[in-house]
Amino acid sequence: MQNNPHIQEQLEKWVEENRGHVVLGTTAQYIPALGNEDPAQLGICMIDEEGNYYAAGDTEKEFTLQSVSKALSFIAVCCHYGLDYVLERVDVEPTGEAFNSIIPFEIHRPNKPFNPFINAGAITVSALLPGQTPQKKFQFLLEFLEKLVGHPLEMDQEVYDSEWQTSHRNRALAYYLKEANFLDIEVEEALDIYISQCAIKINVKDLALIGLIIGYDGYNPITKERHFSDDIAQVVKVLMVTCGMYNSSGNFAAHVGIPAKSGVSGGILAAVPPKLHSQTYAFRAGAGIGVYGPAIDVQGNSAAGTMMLKQISKEWDLSIF
């Protein structure tokens, strides 16, 4: 099937309609290199199961994965060790707290981090990546991602340096993890891997393709390649729904209803599974969505990106609920 011009027109219209919402957020000031981005940007790419891409708005821009990487390192680690091994070391419980909060640790003293999408859980997962050194662990993740998107990827050194110099809170969290015996490697090594993965450069097209693969339970319907198993995909989608949009995941589930993972760079990865009983003409066989809008709200989600997804999900009946 050819690209549907009606879908393309709608997407372009909705990007412009939602562009005004960028004023509801600001760029992530706590990582100086992200704080300097132009907050007015907004772009989206959607891909269907036949490989048709629809892109509208600021779609050429490269940005860093940030917390979107948490979903991907979790998948990579599960692929290598199996789900059971990983879930013995990190739980799948939402916290309702900010992504970088220390409170859940102090109050509950859990026997493993609450979930892999808060920083504590993500740093734990990064440390689990296979490899004898931080470089080899990072390389493992990078190669896994390169297979998903089908081309080489690289890290943004400026963003890495900027976060490395200012990540005092993540350092504090990593010391908590070390004290609780959740880290088998040194604090600085775990931080190095985590900050490197957050600084991997990506664009909305790549995010959309990864979203499609997650929506298809680890299978790429375009290349007919399986990247990870159904059971890993199932847990990842649950995590995306319950924890993927930080402490506004409940609201996002209610109003958008698409498994998604956001990052403070303003990226959102969303996975729309097939929904064959849907009445709409668009994306009944599922879709992957990549969004970029660097003005983020207080929870850390792209302000205009979230509003745009709300509109798209409603218009095209994409909610899984």
Q: Is 246 a catalytic residue?
A: yes
Contact between 100 and ligand GLN (CB under 6 A)? Answer: yes
Strand partners, 43: 57, 292
Tokens of 302: 């792209």
Tokens of 249: 């995941």
Measuring CA to CA, how many Å separate 167 from each of 72, 75, 151, 308? 21, 24, 30, 31
CA atoms within 13 A on the CB side of 206: 23
CB of 90 to ligand GLN, least distance (A): 16
Helix (H, G, I), strand (E, B) or coil at 91: coil
Contact between 95 and ligand GLN (CB under 6 A)? Answer: no
Rounded to whole angstroms, the Cα distance separating 292 from 69 reads: 15
Specify the residue, 193 or 272, whose C-beta has the smaller distance to ligand GLN: 193
Q: Which of 10, 119, 124, 249 binds ligand GLN (CB under 6 A)?
A: 119
> Of 68, 86, 236, 264, which residue is the catalytic one?
264
Q: Which residue is nearest to ligand GLN (CB)?
A: 67
Q: Is 70 a catalytic residue?
A: yes
Q: Between residue 254 and residue 283, which ones bind ligand GLN under the rule CB under 6 A?
A: 263-264
Residue 258 near residue 270 (C-beta atoms within 8 A) = yes
Rounded to whole angstroms, the Cα distance separating 57 from 179 reads: 46
Specify the residue, 102 or 222, whose C-beta has the smaller distance to ligand GLN: 102
CB of 26 to ligand GLN, least distance (A): 14
Q: Between residue 150 and residue 179, which ones bind ligand GLN under the rule CB under 6 A?
A: 163, 170
Q: Is 30 a catalytic residue?
A: no
Tokens of 223: 């290349």
Residue 42 near residue 18 (C-beta atoms within 8 A) = yes
CB of 101 to ligand GLN, least distance (A): 11
Q: Which of 193, 92, 71, 51 is nearest to 136 (CA)?
A: 193
Residue linked to tokens 């999408």: 117
Q: Is 125 a catalytic residue?
A: no
CB of 93 to ligand GLN, least distance (A): 18
Specify the residue, 10 or 247, whose C-beta has the smaller distance to ligand GLN: 247
| 30 exposure class (CB count in 10 Å sphere: 0-12, 13-18, 19+) | middle
Number of residues written out for the chain: 321
Residue 3 near residue 52 (C-beta atoms within 8 A) = yes
Q: Between residue 282 and residue 311, which ones bind ligand GLN under the rule CB under 6 A?
A: 300
Q: Which of 74, 99, 160, 252 binds ligand GLN (CB under 6 A)?
A: 99
Q: Which of 10, 66, 196, 249 binds ligand GLN (CB under 6 A)?
A: 66
CB of 2 to ligand GLN, least distance (A): 37
Q: Which of 27, 41, 67, 126 binds ligand GLN (CB under 6 A)?
A: 67
Residue linked to tokens 């909610």: 319
CB of 99 to ligand GLN, least distance (A): 5
Tokens of 12: 């372009």
Q: Is 73 a catalytic residue?
A: no
Residues annotated as catalytic are 67, 70, 194, 246, 264
Question: Interface with ligand GLN by CB under 6 A: which residues?
Answer: 66-67, 99-100, 119, 163, 170, 198, 263-264, 300
